[in-house]
Structure 1
């Protein structure tokens, strides 16, 4: 009890103060990582001195070293280094060592006990999770689904089993049963999750991802026009390093952050942890790619879109696809050129109905000669299922409405009124 109370004080009081002190003075990521490891080893040693196992102290250290103790970027760097060492070296050594102590004889000598342990462990994990999930108010079915996912948490079970074996609390047969139980429960996760998610869907209780806010990297004239169409209810936050552009965007009513989108702290301030879309459209294609990748890989933003310039390397587009990023407008464009046109009033807002989907994608959205000759930039597809950004990879349907901007050379119609393409 004294150990747990002392650990709570250290974790909630001492660690945050130390984190603020160290991040203000230590700039080397390797040194910061070593200090975090030292903190974990210190709590592990304290647990051992208190007559408990060292793993308890290390586990508690991992719980307390979180955001608030270290800034987001530094914490990510520490996690990345720790994951590399643990997954690349420590975990394989541990599991191989544990494997030497496992006997397959349990399948013939104690099959009933093996099956009973697997069944009881599965029920215990799922039901236990569901019971403690009930106070959230999301219902027992969702609790069962979460429990099905938790059923795969078997690594700690093997660690505890090996500790018990070393202490003489269990024999090799029980140890082998516990190891196989951890393996089998982990292997059942895909099946159980698929089943429980289908169960939720049949009862209309499957909650969709509610991440709907939009982050736009760049606050130029075109970016502001796109942000207004992509988030008509004002749910867009713009990021730019250009102070003049951020002031202009703020004057137009946008939520704006002056800073670099390559800084995770800036993205976090912009709401990246809850954003549904990150759209990178600066004049620098490399910045666009990196910002989109950080949004996808570090913050799990599901919809990542970026612009690329006509002269950018084809490798950038391949790299964009590696994290399922998409190309805004369905083609490469000169953002700077369009910025100048929008700023000078040389573009017209367009809204037209699709009658020939292929012409929209292949020819840059031409409007028939009876209406206008125009180079158009499609921004949003307004379809039966709602609005989404135009990236050229969605199958257009007859009747979809494209919202965008264009620079017409001859206008014979009011561009704000829907016009059918291909007629």
Structure 2
């Protein structure tokens, strides 16, 4: 793996997989059941080394894991007859409800009695108890063992287990997010916004998002700008946003939004592409200066990005011109804007729509965004607030 010329990039995943199988097979030949331990030892050894393309291997591993679990579920459920599940009837459903609402909460309460967990955290843990492949595998093994010693009721164990899996995954799995939100335990990392560019304009955008409950991390190659952002109580990272390690440090693995605000539009688009393809960030917004030259709309479509703030603009004039201060204000969307895309509104050059506020959420304004009833917009303006509002009132759509 460390010598790229020996292993083509396209085959690296398969070579690693074949190596694991080889180690597993050789260990099993030497000592029965030693293959799993040898594979684990191989993984621990590789983990200590700097493996090129490690993220690609991790994604491949996750794909194999999902595929393997899915196939295993199909194989295990092949022995299950729907009639046997129906035969459990109301008593089976009551048994599962007893597990969900009595056995699980009691076990969690006992096991967390002397811990520092709050009552909210204990409630969430008690509720989140979906069963899965482990329960199905063990139940199938027990059923086979019971039938081998003459207990013909072994199949009931499989039926009850799959009924438990279906009910817990459906009820608890689908409701866990809402319960966590109700208890105030939902992590904000999943709503994190990463801003590339820690200059004056980038810090203003970051403060708007943080003031409305969005965690933000700024990335900049300029150490001075990163330190200034940090002194303004913003999370700032000094580094190149095109490097996966820097994006990972900023929280891209769990992040939801990336905004690229550098003065180089090609870098902005490339950063959005890396974030989208490597980390699966669905909302990537680059700033473009002149779409007709260099990076343009067609390139945005290919990279999964959307034009930030509704239009192209010269970020230099917002970032480096010290002759004015940036004013921030909120403005409710008028009825004439409803159903109109942000790119179709001719905002004055001195006014930029930054964030849309709706239903206690703050989302970055982008070109294809359609204004809806109840929307409020946070603007940045080079003009005084009163003048800017008068200019917006004078707009027609």
TM-score (norm 1): 0.62
The CA deviation at 1:294 is 5.3
Q: 1:160 to 1:377 in 2, by over 3 A?
A: same
Aligned: 1:259 with 2:234: no
Q: Is 1:365 the equivalent of 2:364?
A: no
**Matches of 1:386 and 1:103, distance apart in 2:** 47
CA distance in 1 between counterparts of 2:356 and 2:25 reads 55
Instruction: Find 2:327's aligned residue among 350, 356, 369.
Output: 350
The correspondence of residues 40-59 of structure 1 with structure 2, limited to 5 A, is none
Unaligned runs of 5+ in 1: 1-21, 367-373, 407-412
Out of 256, 259, 273, the residue aligned to residue 290 of structure 1 is 273
Taking a change above 3 Å as real, the CA distance of residues 102 and 404 of structure 1, as seen in their structure-2 partners, is: same
Whole-Å Cα distance in 2 between the matches of residues 29 and 387 of structure 1? 39
2:194 aligned counterpart, secondary structure: strand
Tell me the number of residue pairs that the alignment of Structure 1 and Structure 2 aligns: 361
How far apart in 2 are the matches of 1:92 and 1:355?
A: 48
Contact 1:257 1:270 in 2 (8 A): no
User: What's the offset of the Cα at 1:220?
Assistant: 6.4
Q: How many angstroms apart in 2 are the aligned matches of 1:328 and 1:148? A: 40
Distance 1:166 1:365 in 2: 71
Cα-Cα RMSD: 5.1
Change in 2 beyond 3 A, CA 1:47/1:111: farther
Q: 1:145 to 1:379 in 2, by over 3 A?
A: same
Counterparts of 1:203-222 in structure 2 under 5 Å? Answer: 205-211=183-189, 214-219=193-198, 222=201
**Partner in structure 2 of residue 378 of structure 1:** 353
Structure 2 residue matching 1:328: 3-state secondary structure:
coil
Give how far 1:306 is off: 0.9
Structure 1 window deviating more from structure 2 (77-86 vs 357-366): it is 357-366
Deviations 1:274-301 (A, max 9, x none): 757532334125424324425863xxx7
CA distance, structure 2, for counterparts of residue 133 and residue 125 of structure 1: 12
Please give the alpha-carbon distance, in whole angstroms, between the structure 2 residues aligned to 1:96 and 1:124: 28
1:9 matched to which residue of 2?
Answer: none
8 A contact 1:102–1:175 mirrored in 2: no
Does 2:136 correspond to 1:137? no
Q: Offset of 1:182 from its aligned partner?
A: 3.4
Query: Aligned partners of 2:361, 2:74: CA distance in 1, in Å?
Result: 52
Q: Which residue in the other structure is 2:378 paired with?
A: 402
Which residue pairs with 1:160 in the alignment?
138
Structure 1 residue 258: Cα displacement: 1.8
Aligned runs of 1:321-340 on 2, under 5 Å? 327-329=307-309, 331-334=310-313, 337-339=314-316
- Cα–Cα, structure 1 residues 218 and 49, in superposed 2: closer, same or farther, change >3 Å? same
TM-score normalised per structure 2: 0.65
Check conservation: 2:253, 2:279, Cα contact below 8 A: no
Matched, 1:250 2:231: no
Query: Given the alignment, which residue of 171, 187, 190 partners 2:166?
Result: 187
Whole-angstrom CA distance in 2 between matches of 1:175 and 1:36? 36
Cα 1:224–1:270 shift into 2, 3 Å: same
CA contact (8 A) 1:347 1:405 kept: no
- Please give the secondary structure, in 2, of the residue aligned with 1:354: strand
**Distance between the aligned counterparts of 1:113 and 1:356, measured in 2?**
56
User: Does structure 2 conserve the Cα–Cα contact (< 8 Å) formed by 1:380 and 1:389?
Assistant: yes
Q: CA deviation at 1:207?
A: 2.7
